[in-house]
Amino acid sequence: MKFRENLKSKNRIVVKIGTSSLSFPNGRINFHRIEKLARILSQLRKKGMQVVLVTSGAIGVGAARIGMTERPRELPRKQALAAIGQAELIKIYQKFFEEYNQLVAQVLLTRDVVEEPERNRNAKRTLARLLEMELIPIINENDTIATHEIEFGDNDTLSAIVACLVEAGLLIILSDIDGLYSADPHTDPAAEIIHSVHDITPELEKLASGAGSSFSTGGMVTKISAARICQQAGVDCIIASGSDPAVILEILEGKKIGTHFVAGPPSVIQNESLQK
């Protein structure tokens, strides 16, 4: 529990919310969910914390905007819908955050933010400045000009990269999965949530590949790889269910929610396991 206690002192956090948490199963936007997320993040900001939001959902919102019922498959159509939907999505966030007197900033990133040192420094500086100005940056991938299927693979990886960019203490990934299970919960009634992970072992990865969700882009595999990026950078990472954004507060109170990928230099972790 000591590691959970550490989360109470986190001052700069990144919250990632997936499409499945922002919308109803039919793909339409869930305003209630966004409203609550905006309220909680604004509240944390007012308490003096620095908060960054990484959001998915542009393609879904774009599809709904033009009355499309199916999620598109071809890249150009996805990119077009992302361009329509991002405009709409940021408008919705702006509206809800402003109800809590919180200003937001839109930052759209592409893969080269990791690959090119100059772009990396630049994005880092802009984000730091926005946080200094007590704004909440809302980040998404710049899908419109992305060169591959989806450059970051999914926003899970993007959120881990952002957590490193802003030197966050904690990344919270909210999705339709409430954590990593010991077995596939859909088929195995004995499956239990794993609350704490120190080492991402091959066995653990194998476990993750079975328990993905069919709806979200990433599933568990991309979340594990996001967690690994965080672990290596010394950032704590929690994977939890986004069905109620209030879990963010509970996580910050040190409650045992979701799966905690404990950060820290390898030596510290070894010492811990020796003590056990």
CB of 128 or CB of 191, closer to another protein: 128
Q: Which residues contact 1 (CB under 8 A, 6 or more apart)?
A: 254, 256
- Write down the least CB distance from residue 7 to another protein, Å: 28
- Write down the least CB distance from residue 82 to another protein, Å: 8
- Write down the least CB distance from residue 113 to another protein, Å: 7
Binding flag, residue 71, another protein (CB under 8 A): no
Q: Mask 97-136, x = binds another protein (CB under 8 A)?
A: ------xxxxxxxx--x--x-xx--xx-xx--xx--x-x-
Count of residues binding another protein (CB under 8 A)? 42
Using the contact rule CB under 8 A, the part of the chain among 30-38, 85-93, 194-202, 245-253 near another protein is 85-93
- Write down the least CB distance from residue 154 to another protein, Å: 18
Question: What angle do the packed helices 155-165 and 219-233 form, to 10 degrees?
Answer: 10
Rule CB under 8 A: choose which of 91, 186, 255, 256 binds another protein: 91
- Write down the least CB distance from residue 54 to another protein, Å: 14
- Write down the least CB distance from residue 126 to another protein, Å: 5
What residues numbered 48-67 form the site for another protein, per CB under 8 A?
62, 65-66
CB of 123 or CB of 252, closer to another protein: 123
CB of 146 or CB of 166, closer to another protein: 146
CB of 88 or CB of 250, closer to another protein: 88
- Write down the least CB distance from residue 96 to another protein, Å: 13
Rule CB under 8 A: choose which of 77, 212, 221, 269 binds another protein: 77
Binding flag, residue 86, another protein (CB under 8 A): yes
DSSP string for residues in the chain = -HHHHHGGG--EEEEEE-HHHHB-TTS-B-HHHHHHHHHHHHHHHHTT-EEEEEE--HHHHHHHHTT--S---SHHHHHHHHHHHHHHHHHHHHHHHHHTT--EEEEEE-THHHH-HHHHHHHHHHHHHHHHTT-EEEEEE-GGG--SSSTTSSHHHHHHHHHHHTT-SEEEEEES--S-BSS-TTT-TT--B--EES---HHHHHHHHHS--SSSSSHHHHHHHHHHHHHHHT-EEEEEE-SSTTHHHHHHTT---SEEE--S-HHHHHHHHHH-
Phi-psi region of 234 (alpha: psi -120 to 50; beta: other; left: phi over 0): left
**Interacting residues toward another protein by CB under 8 A:** 62, 65-66, 75-77, 79-80, 83-84, 86-88, 90-91, 94, 103-110, 113, 116, 118-119, 122-123, 125-126, 129-130, 133, 135, 137, 142, 144-147
